Structure 1
């Protein structure tokens, strides 16, 4: 009996070691890639501080332009993920990153609202598939019980983009303001596209498609991973037809939950610099530094909630609490008026809650979908959910113009987050808490 126990403990330790090894080998580079992706997606929020007045754009024009990115994203996301499943992550992720870097840089040529809409739409087309592609990629390396930490690790790229991107964006806008060559916001789009381009080229040399291709894993480790994944896939859902896939009610439920979650994400991402500015701070460099604070606090929050959800197997409860806390923080950030300290405190609560919930969400679909169903399901949930990236900034911008009160849009976003926090309970515990 003692010998059996010792063998079981040794096997468990071995599994922990191999997944720890994988985490530290592949996740830092993935985080860097997503950091650049997210920065290129939302740096328009900082460009707005100068771009709006230079080009004569209203909040409604900005909101529509910021959100139209997600229409292109929606249309091309499922095909993109299916292509990745066939050709491999290395080639396809590199393609995505290189094309989005080029198109993001092209934003510096915008002079009219129509041009702004077109380049944002094309950026969405270029980037479609990156995030769900990485989600799918992680299912090739980690079983569900080990994936919560990996997803949390992955999602720290969003707050890191804020921690790094805020100060860097503020410095670029401040330093290049008055440049004879280009405006500060034009330099912003050009300079922040370069890291994405270089990272896309690096993907071709550094990314490994599957564990069996990894030279840094032993034959025993590869067999261990293959056994874990095959055992888990036996309990997952694999749809035999497109009709069966589309009739799976859980995919539609998760799409609705993710939609409400993403409304909150981009309510924060696209408007955080403006909220800080409206609280009474005018210096764009200082806005950049202050905007980093909420994201800095979010990093440990994401990691700790992921670890707790893995240990307790209560993902739905963790998701509900995190998203509800984020909603309260966002609503109160619109209530503080001319108080920078209070604005930063509540934005910090909002950001930590929002991003923690986001990292927890993907543990649910990744835990019960397998094979091509995982590729299509993750992409479909992400594409439908990311339509909220169109709705959220446009809704806030439209409400700002309609009411003249920037807090009303934030209240609407917070209400959507509360709905998402409640909806997670319609997912069966057998799926949601694996």
Structure 2
């Protein structure tokens, strides 16, 4: 006799409850440590925005020179991203992520010795090369543990590191620069580079002892729990449409569409990252610590928005409009920041809207390509999307600096950033709904 619908539902409920419990355990073990890694990463990547408040005057850098140096990070990042992710897949996440963190910590500390533009440019390029592969490597690592319908929330939690780094890192950077100015004959920005590099090396060493390369090597899971995770992953992988060789990713039109979308979003993200202290300072705020505290406000808004949108996207299994809405929020925020540039209060309100929108886009975006990429194609495809998209990290700060030098105003760059986010939103709506909404 056929089983009733109610009986099927009742029989399935305990299995789903067990699966949810296992994945909560995986989240507790992995995600907080990955957040710590990314906080350290982001702090060392973007503290150049605070260094600018002293460094540019001390060394005589123009706005365009600073913007070029800030952006050169992403040229090194672009060139070494795909090879780094392929090595990670071959040697394992634990060893390679540890290598990345230790290397970038050492390069970041070397910035304290910068005396001219050439040294600044070289070290920014080397920092990008050293860090290449970390972010897409973590995204790839998440696909080893979480099926696509659980991934948006996990990646949103991971990327909460960006606003967390802004909330705590900005005041910390300002405090270090003020407190250590002149100590041992060094400038405040030199101390900031040195002190903020140390955690990267320490956490890199800890990675060797903490992370597991995959489900089967996780001693903190029972065999039954490993089976639960692997069964969920196998069911999810069956839906991948691009799954196989490295070059399959490069020939896939959907991958190139993802590159365009991510490029548009990253334009806005790194405008905030590198220029937020300057935006706040330009409203009339004096003192590095005061600039740091106020610069943290937009990141608080972003922290809330990222997790609200991420949880909603997983619960509803809808990706496209959960990306379009925050990208348009970001566009409105940048446009209003240009209009309200003369008011600290209104500028912070506009920048909070921009940060909430732009920073929400990134974690939700990665649920799109991971919905159709698998195997070696995933390692190459994710790295390629991230590297091409992050070229906007070069274009955005350089564009802002060059336009500010040319026009004497920050309004025109703000409007360009708003337009970029509108283009990204339109491109998202061209994606296949059935493929991404899983």
Normalised by the length of structure 2, the TM-score is 0.97
Higher mean C-alpha deviation, range 402-411 or range 130-139? 402-411
CA distance in 2, matches of 1:112, 1:167: 27
The residue number in structure 2 matching 1:315 is: 319
User: 3-state SS of the aligned residue for 1:416?
Assistant: helix
Instruction: Please say if residues 249 and 378 of structure 2, whose CA atoms lie closer than 8 Å, have aligned partners that are also in contact.
Output: no
Q: State whether residues 152 and 310 of structure 2, in contact with CA within 8 Å, keep that contact through their aligned partners in structure 1.
A: yes
For residues 208 and 337 of structure 1, the distance between their equivalents in structure 2, rounded to whole angstroms, comes to 48
Q: Are 2:417 and 1:413 aligned?
A: yes
Tell me the equivalent position of 1:267. Answer: 271
Of 230-239 and 307-316, deviating more is 230-239
Partner of residue 203 from structure 2, selected from 196, 199, 207: 199
CA distance in 2 between counterparts of 1:203 and 1:175 reads: 31
- Which residue of structure 2 aligns with residue 369 of structure 1? 373
Question: What does the per-residue CA deviation read over 1:167-209, in whole Å, with 9 as the maximum and x for residues that have no partner?
Answer: 1001011112233421000011001001111100100011111
2:159–2:363: 8 Å Cα contact kept in structure 1? Answer: yes
Query: What's the offset of the Cα at 1:239?
Result: 4.5
Deviation readout 1:9-39 (Å, 9 max, x if unpaired) = 0111111111111111110010000010011
Give the aligned partner of residue 240 of structure 2.
236
Stretches of 4+ aligned residues off by more than 4 angstroms: 239-243
Contact kept, 8 Å, 1:144 with 1:367, in 2: the verdict is yes
Secondary structure at the residue paired with 2:185? Answer: coil
C-alpha displacement of 1:311: 1.5
Bigger mean CA deviation after superposition, 404-413 or 185-194: 404-413
Counterpart position of 2:334: 330
Is the contact made by 1:237 and 1:373 (CA closer than 8 Å) also made in structure 2? no
What is the CA distance between 1:240 and its match in structure 2? 4.5
- Which residue is equivalent to 2:81? 77
Mean Cα displacement is larger for which, 289-298 or 68-77?
Answer: 289-298
Q: Distance in 2 between matches of 1:377 and 1:259?
A: 15
Kindly provide the CA deviation profile for residues 55-108 of structure 1, in whole angstroms up to 9, marking residues without a partner as x: 000000000000000000000000100111111100000000000000011011
- The unaligned stretches of length 5 or more in structure 2 are none
Name the structure 2 match of 1:135: 139
Residue 110 of structure 1 corresponds to 114
* Alignment map for 1:160-175 (pairs within 5 Å): 160-175=164-179
In structure 1, stretches of 5+ residues that fail to align are none
Aligned pair partner of 1:11 in 15, 24, 27: 15
1:124 aligns with 2:124: no
Which of 285, 292, 305 does residue 288 from structure 1 map onto? Answer: 292
CA contact (8 A) 1:253 1:426 kept: no
Instruction: Output the aligned Cα RMSD.
Output: 1.1
The whole-number CA distance in structure 2 between the counterparts of 1:311 and 1:147 is: 11
May I ask how many residue pairs the two structures share in their alignment?
434
After superposition, the C-alpha distances for 1:231-277 in whole angstroms (9 at most, x for unaligned) are 21122034544554322100000000000110010011111100000
Taking structure 1 as the reference length, what is the TM-score of the superposition?
A: 0.98
1:34 corresponds to 2:33? no
Distance 2:247 2:144 in 1: 25
CA contact 1:238–1:372 (8 Å) conserved in 2: no
Q: Deviations over 1:340-380 (max 9, x none)?
A: 11111111111011111111000111111111111111000
State whether structure 2 residue 353 is matched by structure 1 residue 349.
Answer: yes
Cα 1:133–1:242, aligned 2, differ >3 Å: closer, same or farther? closer
Q: Residue 59 of structure 1 aligns with which residue?
A: 63
Q: CA deviation at 1:402?
A: 0.7
Q: Is the 8 A contact 2:106 2:197 kept in 1?
A: yes
